[in-house]
Amino acid sequence: MITALRGMKDIIDEGAKFEYILQVATAVARRYGFELIETPILEETALFKRSVGESSDIVGKEMYQFIDKGGNDICLRPEGTAGVVRAFIEKRLDKAGGVQRYFYHGPMFRYERPQKGRLRQFHQFGVECFGQQSVYEDAAMILMAADIFDRLQIAYTLEINSLGCDACLPPYRQALVAFLAQHTEAICGDCQRRQESNPIRVLDCKNSSCQALYAQAPLMADHLCGECEGEFAQLKEMLDRAHITYRHNKKLVRGLDYYNKSAFEFVSAEIGAQSAIAGGGRYDRLVGFLGGRPTPAVGFALGIERIYDLVSLPSVQRGGWYLGALEPEALEPLFFLSHTLRQQSYTHFSAEAKKLKAHLKAADRLGVRYCAVMGETELAQKSLWVKDLVEKSEKHILLSEVQGG
């Protein structure tokens, strides 16, 4: 028997929940003025090496990368932002000016050890805003993510930090490199590899001995320039006024190289060990770095599989029709009746003649309100026997009454 690849899962049992999460997230994003963008699943590998960073685990260990039949070095996208930025530049939207806002959703791919909430093919919902430098947009992003989780009734903890800018990051990086140079032998292999290429990423190391050592490491929060310090203070003030509870995690860094200034993560303690369910921040350098006109940008993404177990589907009121035949001769008129009713509401047509009890059971399982069946008597009278599964009442009605509305 052929089965799904390890770490890749069919969406069957969770289909309704998957759809519900996307509906809620999409509705919130549209209220914030975002419109849909969809980018290809396959991209040139160079896009992610340049944007995500060759020192990142994603590029170094986790990408599904291969050479196609045309000799192109391509990969399955490991995250969504780089592709959106590539499309933004390719369509010359960076030259259009103004503020442009997009949301997207779809599958991403990373070759990592599969575990609960972490798959090799997983799905994200993300938003990106281009052309807005203001910290108000950073706050709006956080409020949007909070709105999505509130509507999904998910409890969360918000962590925020500032990653600095081109003015304050270089001296901090120099201080951190000097600290790491004193402890090279004590840190893990991954941190040794990042020590020169991307030292700030060592703060995200999950090795317990490394984390104990980094308790003494210099922090970006103590090296912010006046502009970054002022903007971060303003962000905290806005979150306070919006009654959004947060924690300033001075060691919070993002796993991708392109972030600067505001960074944030939403984490949940309800899925075992605390785990991020959404994350994002500002990335003002990325558009220019990928060849576009320098454009400020900020965004976030949430992991759909990460929040499956945290979401409960809302109770749905019964509605719609179930049409069932008691005799084979009733199948044809019921089929065409189903087409008429589908112009108005949900209608399930059972293509097999069954006994009344079987039809009632099926209708109840589907959650419809009306179970309508047609047997020998109804065929002769051009009528339906209809049971209201909410009021528990039943009656005969003429086909012409149903077809008329």
What is the pLDDT confidence band of residue 405, given thresholds at 50, 70 and 90?
Answer: very low
**Are 8 and 15 a contacting pair, CB within 8 Å?**
no
Sequence-distant (≥ 6) Cβ neighbours of residue 170 within 8 angstroms = none
DSSP 3-state of 365:
helix
The per-residue pLDDT for range 3-61, each reduced to its tens digit, is 999 999 999 988 999 999 999 999 999 999 999 999 999 999 999 988 887 667 777 77
Angle at 250 between CA 247 and CA 255, to 5 degrees: 100
HSE of 154 in the Cβ direction (CA atoms, 13 Å)?
31
The per-residue pLDDT for range 154-184, each reduced to its tens digit, is 999 999 999 999 899 888 888 888 888 888 8
> CA end-to-end span of the chain, whole Å?
49
pLDDT at site 255? 61
**Are 117 and 305 a contacting pair, CB within 8 Å?**
yes
Give the type of residue at 90.
E
pTM score over 0.85: yes
Give the type of residue at 203.
L
- The per-residue pLDDT of the chain, averaged, comes to 91
What is the pLDDT confidence band of residue 391, given thresholds at 50, 70 and 90?
Answer: very high
What is the pLDDT confidence band of residue 257, given thresholds at 50, 70 and 90?
Answer: low
DSSP single-letter state for residue 60: I
Which residues make beta-bridge pairs with 118?
115
**Are 111 and 64 a contacting pair, CB within 8 Å?**
yes
Beta strands in 223-337 (DSSP E): 246-248, 260-268, 275-282, 297-303, 321-325
The per-residue pLDDT for range 65-113, each reduced to its tens digit, is 999 999 999 999 999 999 999 999 999 999 998 999 999 999 999 998 8
The per-residue pLDDT for range 208-244, each reduced to its tens digit, is 888 888 888 888 888 999 999 999 999 999 999 999 9
